[in-house]
Amino acid sequence: MHETSSDSDYVETVIRVRYAETDQMGVVYHANYLVWFEVGRVAWCGARGFQYRELEARDNRMMLVAEASCRYRAPARFDDEILIRTAIGSSNDKVIRFRYETRNQHSGQLLATGETVHVVTDRNLRPARLPKHIGKLFLPSRHA
């Protein structure tokens, strides 16, 4: 299986680096990129027509993080505007993969790339499936 990744696959959102996110190196502390990826996922869900919080509140489904990885290419700094680009990887109604790029919004410079893998669970963290109307958004045909 191979995935094409046309630009239209990516959902984009922009945040601004908070002072709280820096560390004494003078750059963004690396764990915060995982938080930014989460911001990207929520934006992706919104752009695809459902609210992640509704998935939890109404459908009793959560996307538990099973794996996360990040490669850091260049540092981000306080007050930088950061472009977070989020796309879906090979997924189904039980396992979901996202991939991410973060760039300096002003210069376009690539800052980091990453991936997360999620397992769908119910509120008690037991394996489950996405509801049909949401699950179909994650099928290969949507993003091949």
State which residue, 7 or 114, has the beta carbon closest to a copy of itself: 114
- The residue among 58 and 144 lying less far from a copy of itself, judged by its C-beta, is 58
50, 137 Cβ separation under 8 angstroms? yes
Tell me the closest approach of the beta carbon of residue 112 to a copy of itself, in angstroms.
10
For residue 33, the minimal CB distance to a copy of itself (Å) is 8
Backbone angles phi, psi at 16, to 5 degrees: -120, 135
In angstroms, the CA 66 to CA 93 distance is 15
CB of 4 to a copy of itself, least distance (A): 25
| 59 is known as an active-site residue | no
SS3 state at 54: helix
Q: Which residues on adjacent β-strands are paired with residue 131? A: none
Task: Summarize as ranges the residues that interact with a copy of itself (CB under 8 A).
Answer: 16, 18-20, 22-27, 29-32, 34-35, 38-39, 42, 51-53, 56, 62, 64-72, 75, 77-79, 125
Q: Which of 23, 59, 80, 122 is catalytic?
A: 23
If we measure between CA atoms, which residue out of 41, 44, 35, 117 comes closest to residue 76? 35
Of 71 and 133, CB closest to a copy of itself: 71
Q: Which of 77, 101, 76 is nearest to 87 (CA)?
A: 101
* Least distance to a copy of itself, CB of residue 77, Å: 8
The set of catalytic residues is 23
